[in-house]
Structure 1
Amino acid sequence: MNAVSSNRQVALVTGASTGLGFAIAQRFAAAGFDVVIVGRDRERTESAASQIAGDARTVAMVCDVIDRQQVDRLIDDVQQQFGRLDVLVNNVGLSDRGLIQALDADRLNDLFNANVFSALNCSQAALPLLAQSGGQIVNIGSLAAKVAPRYLGGYAAAKHALAAITQQLRLESRVLGVNVILISPGPIRRDDAGYRYKDRVGEDLPESANRPAGGARVKGLDPIYVADRILKACRKRSTDVLLPGYLRPIIAIGHLLPTLGDRILLWFTRSKD
């Protein structure tokens, strides 16, 4: 298919068939972007694309972003159909529950595949196209990219790695005119919050570990609000966005004074049961 000539900017959002990814795709479409919605399940991805109303052109593309060959074909398809790419949102991720002393290499590999290698594959493949537009890469991290609370298994390790890759890529991509943003939100509101990890919360963990953020005392964020902040970050070409923002000085204190930081994290994840 030949590229469609358009002055519209193009945003590609991975993991966009449901949840936060879908909210991000909706927000960019409402702001006048053409949007590529990426997911692994064709039916769900096409259904999500059909639900986005407005004048924006919305295209569903099926891809397992952990597979680099599939990602290369995805970016080729974007170039052929749109002729440009302005924003890449790496939203695919996988959370976890458990103790580090019980974490095995296979589980950690799964977490790195979903949270790190998916973003790395898409960023590397899309970088030449983004360089042409002076575009941006948005990596969806987590509060666990800034601190490592208890009970989150290998999730914090994976998100810390994503944060490191994001910063390094941002520094390296400046010469290309590409901006790279890390978005670190707290728990996102979802229908299955509070019981989605029941199969991973066993006798070694308190029931509170099944709650969002491992039971941390942080209010769940509306995905629409997070999507809006992501769009604003792109407009400002920000570099690092923490949600909720009031936690940034608390996290900074913890980094400066690690012993105090540990006490703060223990308080934030103290069971209310």
Structure 2
Amino acid sequence: MALLENILLVGLGALLGHAAFRLPAAQRLTPEPGPVSAQELALVASTTVVNTAITVTGWWLWKADVIILRTDLDLGTIAELVVLIMTMDVLMYAGHATVHLRVLFPWVHRLHHVFADARPITLFALHPLEAIGFGAMWLIVLAVHPFSVWALAAYTALNLIFGILGHLGVEPLPPPVRRNVIFRWIATPTMHVGHHADPRYNLGFYTTVWDRLFGTLEPDYDIRRTAAVPEPYRSEPRQSSAGSIR
């Protein structure tokens, strides 16, 4: 059942991505991707297996009362969802910055940057160590505090939406939405597309808070975010480690 759940998540993500391509405001920021490679499909399959193992591990921890999930649905559930998002945002920023260090990038994270950032399943094309690292981080957070199962489900949905929209190579949000002050702090799909275009920048996932704080936000991000027609990113050859943080 855990394997089926994770296969369905990959399929749902692909469907969500292809639906976003068809939104009236969608603006392409990267070239059209080429054919799906066998390597990309193999990494997606590997990540699905790892995520299945993480799901089963979480179930074992829940049975052992290490992870406690509440069924309450109240205003506290919203607060817990915000805590989950902000906690994972800072942890994922730190983890992402770590795998971009020159000593680690060629061995771990380079695989994710090999593929054109314009295909929904690219989200799942990860080195197994990255998938394990994210899963372990997630289980530790759940073990620290008893969260509502509703907050957990909402976070899982938001994580999938942010991940897929960031791996489309398009900006699907219309200009009036992107220009709203809230999207100065909430990441738009353009933000992660920009990261794949220049890996030195835009290391955050759900917000721009940590990139703004630590100076890793792409210098032209806000100009691109608020433009009526965002300027496309130039297509440049992929480098094995040139984009890593020093």
Alignment TM class, shorter chain as reference: under 0.3
Q: Which is richer in strand?
A: 1
Structure exhibiting the larger radius of gyration computed from Cα positions = 1
Structure richer in helix, relative to its length: 2
- Structure 2 length as normaliser, TM-score? 0.26
